[in-house]
A and B are shown apart, each in its own frame.
Chain A
Amino acid sequence: MKTIFIIARRTWKTAFSNRATIALTLILGIALCLATFIGWQNFKIQNSQRLKYKELVREKWLEKPDKHPHRMAHYGYLAFRDKHELSFFDFGIESFAGVSIFLEAHKQNTVNFSEAGFSNGMLRFGEMSVAMVLQLLVPLLIFFLGYHSISAEREAGTLKIILCQGVSWRQLLSGKTLGIIAVSFSLFIPVILLTVLLWAMLSNWQVSMDASLRLVFLVLSYAVYFIICAGISVLVSAFHSSSKSALTILLVLWVFFAIVMPRITQALGVILYPSPSKMEFSAAIASDLHKEGDSHDPDDPHYAKIKADVLKKYKVDDVKKLPFNYGGYVMAEGEKISAGIYNQHQRELNKTFEQQNSFTVAASYLNPFLAIKNLSMALTAADFKTYMDFQNQAEAYRYGLAQRMNKLQIEKISNTAPGEKEKPLSISRSNWAEQPDFQYTFQPVSSVISNHFWSILSLLCWFSGVLIFLNISSKWVKTI
């Protein structure tokens, strides 16, 4: 054990005796601080914008005068997607997902106005966030530090001497890895502490338990990721006769894992699990709705049965004699059917999307970059699952609003329609406040962990794989 620490300390000292290392570390440190600050600013600007309009929407809703409840159902509601406070850390799909959704009766709308829709294409090159620096650039630094860790000793002829002095391969590899981990942590730990401090300060020391837990898991995951990267760099160096070839291989790995592979896996997922176009999607819903019955057709068997049942129940021979508003009753029934069918199709669509994404999750067993990317997005609530959850909560709210208005119509609107030239029926505006404001609630961290079990497992697989390989690779590695 002692030998390992001696080697680790030696590696650490040599690394920091190199001016280039210090410069790179400093640059990355500054980049991280900058990323934290900009990330937070962005979060604040975007969130305050959404909050402003959210309040405006609520105010306008309450201000509406006496009306027919169905008018209110069509006036509908605007919901804005909240940003999680940790999204300053990792932007995830944030910029590519819509921000606002219009919720109205009978109709499910799309979530519109994503940042990507306002971009002329530069956004495709990525966004500077703490996560980006940690995922992409810190591994590059680790590779720069690690590529000559063993091969340079071999080239200089010192490797033989070290091994002759009774140091085992296992000790040498572990020591070198530990040294590189120490260098990367001497950058990572202060910056993370700073990030946490800045985050707590910027949120006025009002930090929730759930967010803190998420952050702890994030820090742990990144620590594991750096250990994996350090292990890989030392192993590659050990298996190459020259530093030059070790460096080339590491750079190729980096480019392939971080830049090329993510695109390919996702593209494959999309090709193998094609999702329908909007037109096909709406057509499928329309045809299912048609099967269920056509509310516009007076002879439709489904709606005729509803009518007959109601007439029978209230023992009347005409819907006009019913003690409640029959129009509202039919609409409530229609909303139930159409929402059910829509939700079923939406679930299928989301399943297709998840199947597309599952390629990237599976590929994370081949590529640790994808593992940390998926996990980091999930922990900062900037992933597809959170977006899906927002859509579901918004749809539930939409349904609740439409049915509440239908209920008000059934109960409070007369069943006798006014004449063409008479004043339309309405109910008091005091009813509007009954409809609560839309409030998105984030999933707790426990559900994030159970949802992303496979990503977590892949990171752990990589971690243990690297550790095991560091211990047993002495069997294959050559001294000269």
Chain B
Amino acid sequence: MNQSIYLLEFKLFFRNKAAMAGILILLISGFAGLYFGEKFIRQQDIVIEKASQTQEKNTGTNLKHFGKDPGLFLYHNKFSMVNVPDRWAAFANGQRDINPYLISVSMLAVEGQIYDTDLVNPSTLLLGNMDLAFVFIFLFPLVIIAFCYNLLSADQESGVWAILKSQSGALSALIWRKFSVRIISVFTVAMVLMTSAIFYLKLPLDGRLLLILTLLSLYLLFWFSLSFWVISRGKSSNYNAVLLISFWVVLNIISPAILNVWLTQQYPVPEALETLVKQREGYHEKWDLDKSKTMDKFYAHYPQFKQYPFPSELSFSWYWYYAMQQMGDDEASAGARSMAEKLNKRHDFTNLTALFLPGIQTQLRLNELAGSDLENHLKFQQAIKAYHEQIRLYFYPVVFKEETLANVAWDEFKVAQYKGHTTGYVWQNLASVFILSLLFSILAVYNFKRKTSLF
């Protein structure tokens, strides 16, 4: 009995052209999102694959030209490190288009090299990528709104409600039935898309998948509970549509837009330009200073290199040159640190404010879990700095002793890889979206309990 009523409700729901249209829109845009997201990451994978070959070739050429002079060779030769995209990055491209994923550094000051961007079209960055995460964050709520806004009011406006009311006792059960039909439909579409994503993007079946599924489900439930609350107020279809769209616009467009300008204004990052200037001055001014000043500071940083005799009588030596370069980094390090602190402050601010904006926080958590957020990039930069330090420690003695490059273990300096993602704020996010959903559901149930007789 119960089953057949559900079947009838489904039939009723799908007789509506809007229902089929909504589901089709979600499926088409979802598959488009999968395609574009995957294509974007595949492009990066291809470049990364080529990187080791290119580096090997370039190193060979450099060895041919400058091999006899290690100092000059290291001036020209570059060592690359790549930020390997996670499989999930194809699902949520995040900031991977803005931040470079392949950085090549020579043994010169690292601060002058790691901020170099990739060749990007700023217009593309502005309009953003179309990945599956975008479909979930922006389009699913709209379809949920389209499915729900007239759930009650359509029947009231067509006069069907009066008949239903006189014939059926359990009105709340009826509303719930209609509502669950919509929930089931939307979740089925979501599951179809996620299953396709698992196969198409080759996502690993692990705890992270479960976490992301929970995140997305909660986000969709939030929109259902919000819609539920709006229809529980018993206003007209048009009123509901306008109100729900306004909610969508405020939560997903206006609030983040205001927060962004607020953030830029409250937390400007002059430290970036400061670091740039400091690094450049820190190195270049040493040309005009007494060599011993540079060398004293250099030995204070690396006491272990004191054992190599410094050719102070020469007007130029690579020994001196790399010590000067090192000063560029040493003098910019305070700026770089305060830049990192500023970015952390920004991060905290966004995460705090996003607690009230389900769309933003879900997107931020997806980026985090997919390793395509700013934090991932900052860690990548740290990894490059560490790699650069490793290169220095290996090659400084070679240059200082004027050894040949013949004995270098080149295998240790192949293209280095960085991989990683964080789960930092995911529990706060789950809790906050859950509480928001619960709040609207309770309000809705309260409205229905109080007012069903009035409808």
Q: Is B189 on the interface with A (CB-CB < 8 A)?
A: no
Once bound together, how far apart are the Cα atoms of A338 and B64, in whole Å?
21
> Are B254's CB and A102's CB within 8 A?
no
What is the chain A residue whose CB lies nearest that of B115?
A: A112
Q: Report if A279-B124 is in contact (Cβ < 8 Å); known contacts: A45-B268, A122-B364.
A: no
Give the bracket for the number of chain A residues in contact with chain B: 35 or more
Q: Is B51 on the interface with A (CB-CB < 8 A)?
A: yes
Chain B residues with CB under 8 Å of A383's CB are 123
Q: Is A41 on the interface with B (CB-CB < 8 A)?
A: yes
Q: Is B164 on the interface with A (CB-CB < 8 A)?
A: no
Q: Is A129 on the interface with B (CB-CB < 8 A)?
A: yes
Q: Is B363 on the interface with A (CB-CB < 8 A)?
A: yes
Q: CB < 8 Å: which of A34, A110, A120 contacts B375?
A: A120
Q: Is A75 on the interface with B (CB-CB < 8 A)?
A: yes
Interface hit among A194-202, A242-250, A322-330, A448-456: A242-250
> Are A353's CB and B123's CB within 8 A?
yes
> Are A116's CB and B125's CB within 8 A?
yes
Q: Which of B54, B123, B253, B281 has the most CB of A within 10 A?
A: B123
Once bound together, how far apart are the Cα atoms of A281 and B139, in whole Å?
37
Q: Report if A96-B126 is in contact (Cβ < 8 Å); known contacts: A118-B269, A118-B346, A424-B316.
A: yes
Q: CB < 8 Å: which of B54, B142, B354, B375 contacts A283?
A: B54
> Are B118's CB and A277's CB within 8 A?
yes
Chain B residues with CB under 8 Å of A39's CB are 261
> Are A125's CB and B261's CB within 8 A?
no
Q: Is B122 on the interface with A (CB-CB < 8 A)?
A: yes
Q: Is A115 on the interface with B (CB-CB < 8 A)?
A: yes
> Are A128's CB and B260's CB within 8 A?
yes
Total contacting residues, chain B, CB less than 8 A = 90
Q: CB < 8 Å: which of B124, B126, B264, B364 contacts A92?
A: B126
> Are B115's CB and A277's CB within 8 A?
no
Residues facing A in B101-137 (CB within 8 A) are 102, 104, 112, 115-119, 121-130, 134
Q: CB < 8 Å: which of B39, B119, B128, B261 contacts A278?
A: B119
A315 → B minimal CB distance (Å): 32
A311 → B minimal CB distance (Å): 25
> Are B32's CB and A357's CB within 8 A?
no
> Are A45's CB and B265's CB within 8 A?
yes
Q: CB < 8 Å: which of B51, B268, B363 contacts A121?
A: B363
A93 → B minimal CB distance (Å): 4
> Are A78's CB and B277's CB within 8 A?
yes
Once bound together, how far apart are the Cα atoms of A111 and B273, in whole Å?
12
Chain B residues with CB under 8 Å of A344's CB are none
Q: Is B252 on the interface with A (CB-CB < 8 A)?
A: yes
Chain A residues with CB under 8 Å of B123's CB are 93, 266, 353, 356-357, 360, 383-384
Bitwise, B137-176 to A at CB < 8 A (1) or not (0) is: 0110010001000100000000000000000000000000
> Are A126's CB and B257's CB within 8 A?
yes
Chain B residues with CB under 8 Å of A147's CB are 238
Bitwise, A120-149 to B at CB < 8 A (1) or not (0) is: 111111111100100011001000100110
Q: CB < 8 Å: which of A60, A98, A356 contacts B117?
A: A98
What is the chain A residue whose CB lies nearest that of B36?
A: A267
Residues facing B in A384-402 (CB within 8 A) are 384, 387
> Are A57's CB and B54's CB within 8 A?
no
What is the chain B residue whose CB lies nearest that of A125?
A: B256
> Are A248's CB and B277's CB within 8 A?
no
Q: Is A99 on the interface with B (CB-CB < 8 A)?
A: yes
Q: CB < 8 Å: which of B43, B98, B268, B315 contacts A114?
A: B98
Shortest 9 CB-CB contacts between residues of A and residues of B: A125-B256, A128-B257, A96-B125, A120-B374, A93-B122, A266-B127, A353-B121, A263-B130, A97-B122
List 10 A-B pairs, Cβ < 8 Å: A111-B117, A112-B276, A117-B99, A118-B346, A120-B374, A125-B252, A251-B245, A271-B39, A279-B50, A356-B124
If A114-B122, A275-B119 are given as contacts, then 13 extra A-B residue pairs at C-beta distance below 8 Å, sorted by A number, are: A38-B261, A49-B273, A64-B288, A71-B284, A78-B277, A98-B117, A102-B276, A110-B118, A113-B115, A113-B272, A125-B253, A128-B254, A267-B129
Chain B residues with CB under 8 Å of chain A are 18, 29, 32, 36, 39, 43, 47, 50-51, 54, 65-66, 94-95, 98-100, 102, 104, 112, 115-119, 121-130, 134, 138-139, 142, 146, 150, 237-238, 241-242, 245, 249, 252-254, 256-265, 268-270, 272-274, 276-277, 280-281, 284, 287-288, 313-316, 343, 346-347, 350, 354, 359-360, 363-364, 367, 373-375
